[in-house]
Structure formats: C-alpha cells, structure tokens
Amino acid sequence: MARRSRRADSGYTILVVDDQDDTTQSVRTLLEHEGHRVQTASSGSEALEVLQQHDVHVIIVDYFMPRMTGAELVERIRLVDPYVQIILQTGYAGEHPPRTLLAALDIQGYHDKTDGPERLLLWVDVALKAHRMITELRERERVQSEIVANCSHEFRTPLNIIGGYAELIRGGDFGPMPATAEAPLAAISDATRNLLELVTDFLGYARIEAGVTHAVASEIDVAALAAELQRLAKVLLDDKPVRFAVDLARAPAALTTDPMKLRTILRNLIGNAAKFTAAGDILLTITTEPDATRFEVRDTGCGIRREDLPVIFEPFRQADGSMSRRYGGIGLGLALARKMARLLGGDLAVESTVGVGSTFVFRLPSARAAAPTVAGSGPAKVASSGGA
C-alpha cells in the first residue's frame, strides 16, 4: 500500500523500544509520516531514561529484549506513569496468546509484526483516542478537586470565628455567663470542632487530588508530637472508658518530614480508633527501624471483616453502610491518611480481627531520624485516661 504524504505535527510523542535497529528505524519512519514525534530506545533502561526526560503519550515495546524483557519494562513503566498507553509488539508468535498478554500485563494493545504497518497504525490510533479520553477525565477531576478545595477553604474562616467566639464566651471574656448557657455553648464548640476537622480533611484530600499538595520537610520533636496527640486523644475519649498511651521506648528523638501531613495521618488514625473503640485501649507506638520510622496505632475496637479491608481506604467508604449510621463520619479520614502517607513516600497498612481490634501501620521510609531516646527498665509511655 502506498504511503500517504507526511502529515502535520500531531502534537503526540511516541516512544519506540526495540533492540533491533532496523525495526526501530522503520517504525520511526512510519510514525513520523503520520505527524507524530518519535523517541527511540534500544533497551528497557534507556526507555526509562527517555520517560524521565520527555512527555510521552504512547509507548511501543518489543516483547523479546535482552536484560529487561518487554513485560518487565511494562511493570517498571507503571511505577513511573500509570496512564501512558502501551502497545506490546512482537515478531515471535505462539508463546503467549495476545489475549493472555493483554490480561496479564497493564497494556492497551498487542501488535504482531507480521500483521504489517497499517495494523500498527490502527493500534496507535486506538491508544491515542484512549489517551485523549483519560486526559479529559483527569482534567475534569482536577477542576472538580480545585472547586472542592476552594469551597472547603472558604468554610474554614467562619467556622473558626464561630468556635472562637463560643470559647471566649465560655471563658468569661464577655462577662458572667448563665449556668444554663454552658451546655449549649459546649455543644456549639464540639460541633464546630468536628465540622472544622471534616472540612480540613476535605481540603487536604481535594488538594492532593488536584495535584497542588507537596511535602515540605522540617524537623519534628517526637516527644512534643506525642504530647500533642495525647491532648487530642483526651478530647476524643473524654466520655469513653478507653485508655490512650504512646510508647516511645524505641522512638527517635526527632525526625524530618512534613509535620502537617504527619500530624494529619496520625490524627486520622487516632480519630478512627477512638470512633470504633467502645472500651479498652488505644496504643500508638513509634519505632526506629533501619530504613524508616514506624508508626503503629493499635486498638481494641470492633475490628474489620477481612472482606471489607480492601475498601476502607477508598474515599467516602466505610466497611459497610450501617457503620456510617452507627458511628458517624463520611469515610474520608483513612483515605486521606493513605494519600498523605504515600505523598511522604510511605504507605498505610492494616490488620484486623472482628471483635478483637485493628492495627494500622505507617512506615515513613528513609526518615532522617535522630538517635533513639534512652529507655528505662520498661517502655517509656505517656498515657491519658478517657474515663477508665
């Protein structure tokens, strides 16, 4: 079939990865005639370097390559870019059927080199159409997240004013207060604080989704952080027979990370434990590990069914619909905590047994921690009673 004349610049960049130079050059010529910008790589490692330097929309990967196979390269690419469209290409038929590879690998197309150039162009057109759809959806999500973030930000000022005036009145700043006014004002303060925390979580989650949140590191005194979390737990557990403790026996004296994001993660984990623990204990353990600082929140709450564990980190989800009615909340705290944990380079995991309790673990990798505090004969703990 005669080739068409060269088209105008399409605006798209395609990366061709193949260890056979003649194949690379023929595919380059084919794609450049379609108006696409083309980058090439002869190995998986070279392809990863190109991805770091260029904005690539579609990748055509040879399946059989030395040192790093096409399948291995696809896995590495997905760690860098989960959205780029990938077409797997091979000249060797039979080892793995196309549908098997499409199901097993995170790819969007499969091209047999014996099918000819027109079939490859068809796969490229399909990949570019998918790219445009994904780009539009991501942009829509970004705009929506920005709207939520802006609205949440505007809510915070009036809530702070309401809560501030309520506390001033309760403190006697405006003169003697009737005894009958204490309970309503306390209710206003509690409701305002709860709503402000909810709005703050909305704002944090929306900013992460919009891609406008970045980690800003500074040093944190671990003992001061523990005391701050103790005060938070005292408020959350004021009317419950639940004991909160912080174990610093193997904790660093200080660590370097984003203080606000770390506090948000721990605040939400402690708040979650307080919500679902009717009696017993909640223990926060901070431990120095060889390559990380480990934060563990263990409770004696109601626990989570095994089948519900995959959904608890999804936004606006709780283990089942009845939990939001029984315990309140909208299911955003754990989703935000995991988002921020990953933003700090770590992750959030959970183990749970129904009727026994749950343990949430956040590992902050490569934290520049100071030497561990010196422990006495027993664990160094700061504890507060929530009514026990």
pLDDT, tens only, 194-207: 787 777 776 777 66
d(CA 236, CA 244): 10
Give whole-number Cα distances, 165 to 161, 172, 231, 236, in Å. Answer: 6, 11, 22, 21
> Smallest Cα–Cα separation from 177: which of 188, 187, 166?
166
Whole-angstrom distance between the N-terminal and C-terminal Cα of the chain?
A: 84
User: Residue 330: what pLDDT?
Assistant: 56
Where does the pLDDT of residue 311 fall: very low under 50, low under 70, confident under 90, or very high at 90 and above?
confident
> Smallest Cα–Cα separation from 300: which of 325, 282, 318?
282
Residues across the chain:
388
For the segment 90-130, what is each residue's pLDDT rounded down to a tens digit? 876 556 667 777 777 888 888 888 888 999 999 999 999 99
Q: Which residue has the tokens 């770590």?
A: 346
Q: Which two tokens stand for residue 308?
A: 């519900």
d(CA 123, CA 98): 13
13-115, CATH topology level: Rossmann fold (3.40.50)
d(CA 108, CA 81): 14
- Which residues lie below 8 Å from residue 16, measured CB to CB, with a gap of 6+? 24, 27, 28, 31, 38, 39, 40, 41, 60
* β pairing state of 242-247 and 280-289: parallel
Domain ranges of the chain: 13-115, 140-209, 218-385
**DSSP letter assigned to residue 309:** G
Instruction: Judge whether 344 and 215 are in contact, CB under 8 Å.
Output: yes
d(CA 143, CA 335): 20
For the segment 47-82, what is each residue's pLDDT rounded down to a tens digit? 999 998 999 999 999 988 888 888 899 988 988 888
- Which residues lie below 8 Å from residue 274, measured CB to CB, with a gap of 6+? 233, 236, 237, 240, 242, 282, 386
User: Residue 373: what pLDDT?
Assistant: 40
DSSP, collapsed to helix, strand or coil, labels residue 252 as strand
Inter-axis angle of helices 117-170 and 21-33, nearest 10: 80
d(CA 47, CA 385): 57
Burial class (CB in 10 A: 0-12, 13-18, 19+), 355: exposed
For the segment 269-308, what is each residue's pLDDT rounded down to a tens digit? 999 999 899 999 999 999 999 889 999 999 999 999 988 8
Q: In degrees rounded to 5, what are phi and psi of residue 383?
A: -125, 150
Residue 65: CB atoms within 10 Å = 21
Instruction: Judge whether 375 and 247 are in contact, CB under 8 Å.
Output: no
The CATH code for residues 218-385 is: 3.30.565.10
Q: Which two tokens stand for residue 267?
A: 């605040």
